[in-house]
Amino acid sequence: MPDVHVTVWDRTGGGGQAVLLVHGAMCWGDDPVQGFAAQRPLSDRYRLLAMDRRGHGRSPDPDGGHLADYLADADDIVGLLQEPAPGGAHLVGHSYGGVSVMLAAARVPALVRSLALIEPGCYQAAADDPVVAAALTANRDMTGRIPADLPAEVYLRAACETIGLPPLEATPERLRAAGSSVRERFCWEAPIPVAELAAAPWPKLMIGGTWETAPELYRRRGGEPLMACARVTAQRIGAELRRIPAAAHNPHVEQPEAVNPRWWSCGRGLRAAGAFRMISSCDH
């Protein structure tokens, strides 16, 4: 079993299907600010496994020069699918973690029950879209000017202020996660196994925000390319695309009352086939 920390939420008495939750940047698995704490109520039906990616939370740093690494994440996810989730699991990935679960799912499709992606940073799957292509150019220019020894406090503050967001509290846990982002392997450069994911038989769901409530600069720099990426990627891998109103990059945190019941078939649970589905009759 990988030596990463996994928070387990399970009120099923051991009979629930496993769901592996993989978080994004500058947070950790059970983080209430950007992680999956708002999904904990679903543990009365499912065995939720909230993984701390290496370099985050209570997991160790990855080996090598990167403190956040989708390749290391994918190895850990595969290992978790093989041991604490025997028989496979439903995979859920947000942002950077969305790229990690895509890579892992393509490697061990027999261990995947379904795939749910929340605002994934998988720009290479849609790199020919003009909005995504422009974002890739901007990202490369910006990251090329970030010194490798930039203090985590400076990065954390700048990551929020430069797009019009309020600063995140500089707790030790948040600063460690921010420091890992300074030295991350950029998820938007990850080669995405589009053909393998498209050929996989399990259900796929793409969840995104509508971004109308986000600051204008944040929407333009982050929201527009992420929305374009989600649309194109969903088409190419055969995923159902659903937008969550009044949410930006963290719909599972910003609008859990909308995401949770729709994502999990209005509380009726995952179907026998293991599908994540959004049912129109669930909308109010």
> Which of 44, 45, 94 has its CA nearest to residue 73?
94
**The predicted structure's pLDDT at residue 85:** 62
Q: What is the DSSP string of 230-264?
A: HHHHHHHHT-EEEEETT--S-HHHH-HHHHHHHHB
**CA-to-CA separations, 242 to 18, 51, 276, in angstroms, rounded:** 23, 24, 12
pLDDT one digit per residue (tens) for the chain, 284 residues: 789 999 999 999 988 999 999 999 999 999 999 999 999 999 999 999 999 999 999 999 999 889 999 999 999 999 999 876 667 899 999 999 999 999 999 999 999 999 999 999 999 999 999 999 999 999 999 999 999 899 999 999 999 999 999 999 999 999 999 999 999 999 999 999 999 999 999 999 999 999 999 999 999 999 999 999 999 999 999 999 999 999 999 999 999 999 987 665 433 334 433 444 433 323 32
Please check whether residue 98 lies inside any domain of the structure: yes
In sequence order, the 6+-apart residues with CB closer than 8 A to the CB of 232 are 125, 126, 129, 132
| CA–CA gap between residue 114 and residue 116 (Å, rounded) | 7
CB 177 within 8 A of CB 56: yes
Instruction: Give me the number of domains the chain comprises.
Output: 1
> Which of 206, 204, 208, 239 has its CA nearest to residue 223?
208
Strands 6-9 and 47-51, bridge-based pairing = antiparallel
* pTM for the full predicted model: 0.93
Characterise 114 by phi-psi region: left (phi > 0), alpha (psi -120 to 50), beta (else): beta
Residue count of the chain: 284
Please check whether residue 198 lies inside any domain of the structure: yes
CB 224 within 8 A of CB 131: yes
Q: Domain span at residue 43?
A: 6-282
Please check whether residue 1 lies inside any domain of the structure: no
Strands 240-244 and 18-22, bridge-based pairing = unpaired
Please check whether residue 185 lies inside any domain of the structure: yes
List the alpha helices (DSSP H) in 85-151: 96-107, 130-143
**The predicted structure's pLDDT at residue 261:** 77
Chain center to CA of 228: 16
Domain at 246, CATH number: 3.40.50.1820
Please check whether residue 79 lies inside any domain of the structure: yes
Please check whether residue 253 lies inside any domain of the structure: yes
